Amino acid sequence: MATEYGDGLPKEPARPNPGWKVAMVGIPAFLLLSTGVALWIWWKKSQDDSVDPRLALASVAAEVEELEDTVYKLSRILGSRGWESPEARRNMKRTLALIEGTLSPQNYGFAVKQGKSLAYEGDQWPTVWVDLVGDKAPSRVLLACAPYDGGAAAIAVVLAVARDLRDENFGPTVRFVFYPSKLFEKHVPGKSPVEVLRAGESHLATLVPDALGESNAGWNGARLKPVAEAFADLVRKSAEDQ
């Protein structure tokens, strides 16, 4: 039976507290909003090209699997690269994209830079690089280079060494450079990777992995690992001697 007042009339049901209504609506809305803000902040940070390479995940010495994967992608998935045909040049564009993506803040943790492009067959071909900025003489620059129109092995080694050395400190700046060598050598005489130097910078040395050539035949992760380790040691020694 309904509860009655003293006058015999049914008692009016209690009304919900309006504060509870506000809480029930407001708390989920706040959680959704805060989650959205957190996701937006994470996305903005992931897009930031100014990531310090020393804040990336801890580097490790060049691994067989890493080298194997890069050589496989360059030689098997992307296919033949060169200047002779539209298809070969398209593959070279894909190679350049792979290099930049591998070095990027989202992967190896570098801010990728591009230099002035050279024109060929209606396309622009830039030189790209990343820096390990020196802590004592940053304006003195040691170049570690691989042509992106060359063999897959050299590209894989220089990428791996960039990752290997990214947490180390050097006096001069170490710059890992990927460039279109055939344009430098044949189409624009006198050009060289040294031209990635900016105003006020001085060139210490240019280093390239030894005896890799342009052929992809026979190169795999196991064979490239000692080459990458030797090249990393050469970069270290060259930087320390300056």
How confident is the model over 7-29, as pLDDT tens digits?
554 555 555 555 545 445 555 55
Where in the chain does DSSP place strands (E)? Answer: 113-114, 118-120, 123-125, 128-132, 137-147, 172-179, 202-207
Its domain, for residue 208, covers 53-240
Same domain for 21 and 80? no
Lowest mean pLDDT among 15-19, 113-117, 141-145: 15-19
Number of domains in the chain: 2
Same domain for 206 and 103? yes
Say what the pLDDT of residue 192 is.
81
For residue 8, being part of any structural domain is answered with no
Domain boundary residue, one of 47, 67, 89: 47
Q: Is the pLDDT of residue 4 over 90?
A: no
Nearest to 234 by CA among 180, 157, 140: 157
For residue 108, being part of any structural domain is answered with yes
Region 186-209: mean pLDDT is 86
For residue 9, being part of any structural domain is answered with no
Same domain for 71 and 24? no
For residue 4, being part of any structural domain is answered with no
Same domain for 68 and 133? yes
Q: Which residues pair with 174 in a beta bridge?
A: 132, 142
Grouping H, G, I as helix, E, B as strand and the rest as coil, residue 16 is coil
| Separation CA 141–CA 80 (nearest Å) | 32
Q: Is the pLDDT of residue 221 over 80?
A: yes
| CATH number of domain containing 235 | 3.40.630
For residue 94, being part of any structural domain is answered with yes
For residue 67, being part of any structural domain is answered with yes
* Single-letter residue type at 22: V
| Separation CA 200–CA 211 (nearest Å) | 33
Same domain for 101 and 181? yes
Region 207-221: mean pLDDT is 74
Q: Is the pLDDT of residue 230 over 90?
A: yes
Q: Is the pLDDT of residue 156 over 50?
A: yes
Same domain for 122 and 223? yes
Same domain for 22 and 115? no
Same domain for 182 and 221? yes
Q: Is the pLDDT of residue 39 over 50?
A: no
What is the average pLDDT value for the chain, to the nearest integer? 80
Same domain for 113 and 60? yes
Same domain for 18 and 72? no
For residue 5, being part of any structural domain is answered with no
Same domain for 134 and 41? no
Same domain for 108 and 221? yes
Cα 131 to Cα 44, 116, 162, 220, distances in angstroms: 22, 17, 9, 27
